Amino acid sequence: MITSRTTTWELARSTPLFSAVGEAVMSRLMRGALVQVLPKGAVLFEEGAEANFVHLILSGSVGLTASAGKPDSTVVEIFRDGELFVAPAAILELPYLVSAVVLADSRILFLPADNFRAALDAEPKLARAMVNVLARHWRLLVEQIKDLKLRQAAERLAAFLVAQAEAAGGPAAAAAGKPVGKEGAAPGAPAGSASGGASTIALREPRNMLAARLGMTPESLSRAFAQLEAEGVVSEGRAVHIADLARLRRYCALEG
């Protein structure tokens, strides 16, 4: 691909990592790096393997899956555009605890781990940026553990939907809550209104993936959606309409 190089740089430039470390450090990181355009289903690395790369998602999405020796597997977390993973294995020179599977056609930058570690020691800006990345990631998992341990299936789904709606509506348009008409469900960023009112979001993964991420079976997820209808949640395909965000928030906090 002739455009591969330039596109890669453009995309890399728009990641939070780049903003944090700047051009010099970024180009150092990219020494020996390779870009891959991978189709859905491709496996970046396997649980238990040596961590030879740190991965940066230029576009697309990747699921971190694990099976822990059992026949079936689950999804630990899902990462999207701009995210860097799985640094901990590479940094500590330990085997991956998870596998990484491409969930939607993706362009992924493979940064050699040894080079990454060297840069971590030599470039304070990189270390500082990684602290923020890892701190943010820690909080993702803490939230998830809280969900798994003290909420039941339908509540976990509710909490997830609330988080999606907030992520979609919050940062970008925190404007006054408005009648949210069903706009074409944009695949990139779900639309939604902020705190109070109604919101329509788009599920960005197939339901079996969502189920695994939420720690339940697809059947249970289906039933969880059915339960949430009583709370004003309607799902049609990938679009989910929430009639009253505040009510749903109340539901996951107080129910049980």
Partner DNA sequence: CTTTTCGCTTGATTTTTGTCAAGCACATCC
Partner DNA sequence: GGATGTGCTTGACAAAAATCAAGCGAAAAG
Residues near a second copy (CB under 8 A): 66-74, 76, 87-89, 91-92, 94, 97-98, 120-121, 124, 127-128, 130-132, 134-139, 141-151, 212, 215, 252-254, 256
Q: Give the phi and the psi of residue 173 in degrees, each rounded to 5.
A: -115, 95
Contact pick of 208, 234, 246, 250 for DNA (by CB under 7 A): 208
Binding mask of the shown chain, residues 187 to 206, with x at each position contacting DNA by CB under 7 A: -------------------x
Which of DNA, a second copy, none lies near 221, with the C-beta cut-off 5 to 8 A by kind? DNA
| Among 41, 168, 167, 18, residue whose Cα is nearest residue 106 | 41
Contacts of 154 (CB under 8 A, 6+ apart): 223, 224, 227, 228, 255
Q: How many residues bind DNA (CB under 7 A)?
A: 19
- How many whole angstroms separate alpha carbon 186 and alpha carbon 192? 11
Asked if residue 153 lies in contact with residue 226, where contact means CB atoms within 8 angstroms, the answer is no
The single residue listed with the structure tokens 């925190």 is 174
Tell me the closest approach of the beta carbon of residue 43 to a second copy, in angstroms: 18
- How many whole angstroms separate alpha carbon 115 and alpha carbon 252? 44
Which residues inside 209-228 make contact with DNA, applying CB under 7 A?
215-223, 225-226
Which of DNA, a second copy, none lies near 153, with the C-beta cut-off 5 to 8 A by kind? DNA
- How many whole angstroms separate alpha carbon 155 and alpha carbon 142? 16
Which of DNA, a second copy, none lies near 141, with the C-beta cut-off 5 to 8 A by kind? a second copy
Tell me the closest approach of the beta carbon of residue 232 to DNA, in angstroms: 16
- How many whole angstroms separate alpha carbon 199 and alpha carbon 201? 6
Tell me the closest approach of the beta carbon of residue 101 to DNA, in angstroms: 13
Contacting positions for DNA (CB under 7 A) = 72, 152-154, 206-208, 215-223, 225-226, 235
